[in-house]
Amino acid sequence: MSTLDSKIPEGPIAEKWTNHKNNIRLVNPANKRSIDVIVVGTGLAGGSAAATLAELGYNVKAFCYQDSPRRAHSIAAQGGINAAKNYQGDGDSTYRLFYDTVKGGDYRSREANVYRLAEVSTNIIDQCVAQGVPFARDYGGLLDNRSFGGVQVSRTFYAKGQTGQQLLLGAYSAMSRQIGKGKITMYNRHEMMDLVMVDGKARGIIARNLVTGEIERHSAHAVVVGSGGYGNVFFLSTNAMGSNVSAGWKIHKKGAYFANPCFTQIHPTCIPQHGDQQSKLTLMSESLRNDGRIWVPAKKEDAEAIRAGKLKPTDLKEEDRDYYLERRYPSFGNLVPRDVASRAAKERCDEGFGVGTNETGEAVYLDFSSAIMRYGQEEANVKGLHNASDKEIKELGTKVVEAKYGNLFQMYEKITADNPYETPMKIYPAVHYTMGGVWVDYNLMTTIPGCYAIGEANFSDHGANRLGASALMQGLADGYFVLPYTIGDYLADDIRTGEISTDSKEFEEAEKSVKEQVDFFVNNKGKHSVDYFHKLLGKIMWNKVGMARNEKGLKEAIAEIKELREQFWKEVSVPGSADGINQELEKAGRVADFLELGELFARDALERNESCGGHFREEYKTEEGEALRDDKNFTYVAAWEYTGEPSKAKLHKEELKYENIELKTRSYK
Amino acid sequence: MSATEGLNLTLKVWRQKNDKEQGKMETYQVSDISPDSSFLEMMDILNEQLIAEDNEPVAFDHDCREGICGSCSMYINGEAHGPGREITTCQLHMREFKDGETIFIEPWRAKAFPVIKDLVVDRSAFDRVMNAGGFISVNTSGNTQDANAIPIDKHDADKAFDAATCIGCGACVASCKNASAMLFVSAKVSQLSLLPQGKVEAKERVQNMVKQMDEEGFGNCSNTGACEVECPKGISLENIARMNREYLKSGIS
């Protein structure tokens, strides 16, 4: 077993990044003009990287499968972005943001990377404001903050419930400026089909023009993958329909190690599945847990009656309700971290207390009635209404809740046709984010020279569980402030290389194998649609590799996924042709990669004989049912090398050293 | 939800092979659609049905399916994003329709948005308008001044935010009898001209964006306000008035 070189700079943690920047090589402006960089994906990471690289002078070729870079899925992030600005004077600092992120990640992330993330977080806010991002402000005209789960300060900057949208449009505007100048060539509706390597270095990609169907060769001196996470391996997730692992998986198959694939975040507050026709799940922001109380009926017969439609939740008396988070975790209550809240909901539903209308009863209540009455009473006091009736109090309280969460309540009502002011919301956990991803060193370079991975596509900063409002921070940190520096150190060797020709046998071979796969799909004439296989894969993943995992289930999952993959290659049906828009063909390629990733995912979960963050192995828990980490044996990053069969991948361990933070057990009791 | 409550519907859908060939409406039947399904889930079911019959599924743009990416773009029963206010197609649910109903589904219709297949149109004209000036010319080094160095009046910040919520879906263009892009362009012009950071190059911005808008073949604004009604994000006509003022101002000095 080899040891990976994470290239962490020497010196005290607070000086590593500054020293590193001072020591790495630069490329002078004139030479940058003769260097090309490909960026795949235009979300917060890819978009900000493309803009910054172009501004520095490199020739950038940016690719996205959407019809515009502005539609990347970063746009859907709701809550906010963390930064250690300490504008509130509540004791925040770079160190505290670093500490919270490492602890929140259950001590499975790389200290040096997380520290750098915390360090550059303040620049992000300055940058975005300068670009015209309309963050929320107070009446004094200064920036407002809110607080999020797992921390004790207010460091989250936000733009109502659309922070991701506003940040992405900021990055998109920076890109637009460079596209207008001709420094970025934008390839909309293009999908990366493979990486091309020449002499052991990443030198280009094969892409499919999704409008004409043409298979194209694009060369560059370096390739940056910022293609997001792989949550759609579960079929149902809060990810966009097109979100996929393919760019990351293609580079994995060419030599990039894939790290911690089993670290996946299941977000506790999503709208439950309504039936088999469902295509995706919708998140209800974590902020709702500030005021909503989570419960299920205390008696099984009540839960059954509710599921059968014979009883309404509002009929249940206080003593017949089980506020299980408040019961199990009195000190954190409804605000325990995401992984803990999700498992607790599953536990109740598995025991038969769920209130969902689907066959498994998968739903719990998120109830605002006590918040409405509490706020109503406060309002009544403020207004001097000493004898207000319950009805009046409720009306007053409803207005307060509406001002705080109106848009989320409205979104809930649009989807479910239930009024959450009158009856509790029904929620259930859903796949939301993947902490795992392509392994990168401190420079964000993968194990392939010249191939980089940024944002959710890499594994680096969130360990086994990501804290709220940290995904946006990482995407922009990587793209604006980290990669543009570190990539120069590599490209300094390429100032005399000249343009990379696409007329080489490497490009020819890569193009040939892509064409073969495309031809296979449109000619296979099998008997099942792509979605048929994707849904089956999702079921295996959710049932056996989801919120709770065990050895037996994981072994079964590996065998079942392998079998499903074989069936897929025999029986998949892709109608239409390859010479134009063919959305089934696009899906087929993505699902083919999910069918491989799923197997590695299960293998990784099987190998990690401990529970940590979002990874919960039923064999490894405390007497009270809490996650039990094994720091002695598993304080490492599992980086997998592709060897031909996903579950036969070779494990490389990057030992994690905690020099600045002491390893502790997380407790929320 | 019991099966008896499922909807049986007749769909009239625009089918067009590519940007060169003529398209036409085709008729399909779908049955037992759950009223809890979204409109796009109903389209998924239609497509599964077409695939099973060895026919080509209907191509349509969609991605986030929660009303924020701006991909989905269907003209349903004569309205951009269908019935309902301040929603995108993906937020439309089947409970809005009655059993036995016939639903007409078309792509956006505008000269500047050519149909490239079935319900998919090319909206890259919007990107080109943005490339012409939809930004503040600041480098991305992070070495700008502190974010709180310039306080911004909350009133202006909120207005800028409201304009910035545009998702670039193109419903405004599709709803306008002149296929005008004024609401889209004015939303960006307004957002940036309301903020001190954006005032510096306000004149060049509005000139360049309007010029590009005209070159793309969008029509003129005749102030009928259909765009505002159909806008899924409720972008206000006020923005168009503000852009007209900005444009006028930019020509004076």
Q: Is residue B114 part of a domain?
A: no
Token representation of residue A172: 């998109």
* Contact criterion met (CB below 8 Å) for A440 and A450: no
Using H for helix, E for strand and C for coil, what is the string for A244-274? CCHHHHHHHHCCCCEECCCCEEEEEEECCCC
Count of CB atoms within 10 A of residue B246's CB?
21
Q: Is residue B113 part of a domain?
A: no
Q: Is residue B163 part of a domain?
A: yes
Domain that holds residue B247: 123-252
**CB-closest option in A66, A166, A179 to B131:** A179
From the candidates A172, A279, A534, A584, which should be mutated to test the interface with B, based on the most B CB atoms within 10 A?
Answer: A279
Query: In the listed set B78, B106, B134, which residue is the last one of a domain according to the structure?
Result: B106
Question: Can you give the pLDDT at residue B2?
Answer: 42
Q: What is the number of domains present in chain B?
A: 2
* Model confidence pLDDT, tens digit, residues A656-668: 999 999 998 877 7
Nearest to B14 by CA among B99, B81, B75, B85: B75
Q: Is residue B116 part of a domain?
A: no
Count of CB atoms within 10 A of residue A89's CB?
8
Measured CA to CA, the distance from residue B71 to residue B81 in angstroms comes to 11
Measured CA angle at A184 (ends A225, B124), to 5 deg:
95
Q: Is residue B133 part of a domain?
A: yes
CB-facing half-sphere around the CA of A10: CA atoms within 13 A: 1
Measured CA to CA, the distance from residue A543 to residue A556 in angstroms comes to 11
Residue B129 sits in the same domain as residue B238: yes
* Model confidence pLDDT, tens digit, residues A261-318: 999 999 999 999 888 888 999 998 887 887 899 999 999 999 999 999 999 999 999 9
Query: CA-nearest residue of chain B to A55?
Result: B139
- Residues of chain A found within 8 Å of residue B146, distances taken between Cβ atoms: 126
Report helix, strand or coil for A612.
Answer: strand
DSSP string covering B92-154, please? -BGGGS-TT-EEEEE----TTS-EEETTEE--HHHHHHHHHH-S----SSS-S--TTSS---H
**CB-closest option in A164, A165, A575 to B54:** A575
Q: Report the greatest alpha carbon distance in chain B.
A: 69
Q: What CATH number has the domain bearing residue B228?
A: 1.10.1060.10
Residue B178 sits in the same domain as residue B140: yes
Residue B224 sits in the same domain as residue B165: yes
Residue B53 sits in the same domain as residue B99: yes
Residue B10 sits in the same domain as residue B127: no
Question: Can you give the pLDDT at residue A2?
Answer: 56
Q: Is residue B118 part of a domain?
A: no
* Contact criterion met (CB below 8 Å) for A111 and A102: yes
Q: Look at strands A364-367 and A425-434 and give their pairing.
A: antiparallel
Q: Is residue B83 part of a domain?
A: yes
A296-310 burial: b if 16+ Cβ within 10 Å, else e: bbbeeebbbbbbeee
Q: How many CB pairs under 8 A join A and B?
A: 220
The type of residue at A26 is: L
DSSP string covering A521-532, please? HHHH--SB-HHH
Residue B239 sits in the same domain as residue B209: yes
- Residues of chain B found within 8 Å of residue A584, distances taken between Cβ atoms: 51, 57
Question: Can you give the pLDDT at residue A463?
Answer: 96
Residue B136 sits in the same domain as residue B242: yes
Low-confidence ranges of chain B (pLDDT < 70): 1-4, 253
Query: CA-nearest residue of chain B to A176?
Result: B131
Q: Is residue B210 part of a domain?
A: yes
Question: Can you give the pLDDT at residue A1?
Answer: 44
Residue B63 sits in the same domain as residue B177: no
Q: What CATH number has the domain bearing residue B46?
A: 3.10.20.30
Residue B190 sits in the same domain as residue B127: yes
Residue B150 sits in the same domain as residue B242: yes
Query: In the listed set B77, B106, B135, which residue is the last one of a domain according to the structure?
Result: B106
Question: Can you give the pLDDT at residue A402?
Answer: 86
DSSP string covering A627-649, please? B---HHHH-EEEEEEP-SSGGGP
**A285, exposed or middle or buried, with CB in 10 Å at 0-12, 13-18, 19+?**
buried
Q: Over chain A (669 residues), what is each successive 10-residue block's mean pLDDT?
A: 83 97 96 97 98 98 98 93 95 96 94 98 96 92 83 87 94 98 98 98 98 98 98 97 98 98 95 87 86 95 94 95 94 84 92 86 94 94 92 94 83 91 96 97 98 97 93 97 98 96 98 98 96 97 95 98 98 96 98 98 98 96 91 97 94 96 84
Query: In the listed set B47, B72, B106, which residue is the last one of a domain according to the structure?
Result: B106
Q: Distances in Å between the alpha carbon of A440 and those of A23, A214, A219, A654? A: 20, 32, 22, 11
Measured CA to CA, the distance from residue A143 to residue B148 in angstroms comes to 7
Question: Can you give the pLDDT at residue A3?
Answer: 66
Please name the residues between 146 and 205 in chain B that touch chain A, using a CB distance below 8 Å. 146-148, 151-154, 157, 160-161, 164-165, 167-168, 191-192, 195, 197-198
Question: Can you give the pLDDT at residue B253?
Answer: 65
A358-395 burial: b if 16+ Cβ within 10 Å, else e: beebbbbbbbbbebbbbbbbebbeeeeeeebeeeebbe
The type of residue at A270 is: C
**B153, exposed or middle or buried, with CB in 10 Å at 0-12, 13-18, 19+?**
middle
Distance from CA of A522 to the nearest CA of B (A): 12
Residues 6+ apart with CB under 8 A from A664: A103, A107
- Residues of chain A found within 8 Å of residue B165, distances taken between Cβ atoms: 162, 165
**CB-closest option in B64, B134, B136 to A240:** B64
Element (DSSP H or E) covering residue A1: none
Q: What is the set of domains in chain A, with CATH numbers?
A: 16-263+435-494 (3.50.50.60), 269-430 (3.90.700.10), 504-635 (1.20.58.100)
* Contact criterion met (CB below 8 Å) for A283 and A270: yes
Residue B207 sits in the same domain as residue B140: yes
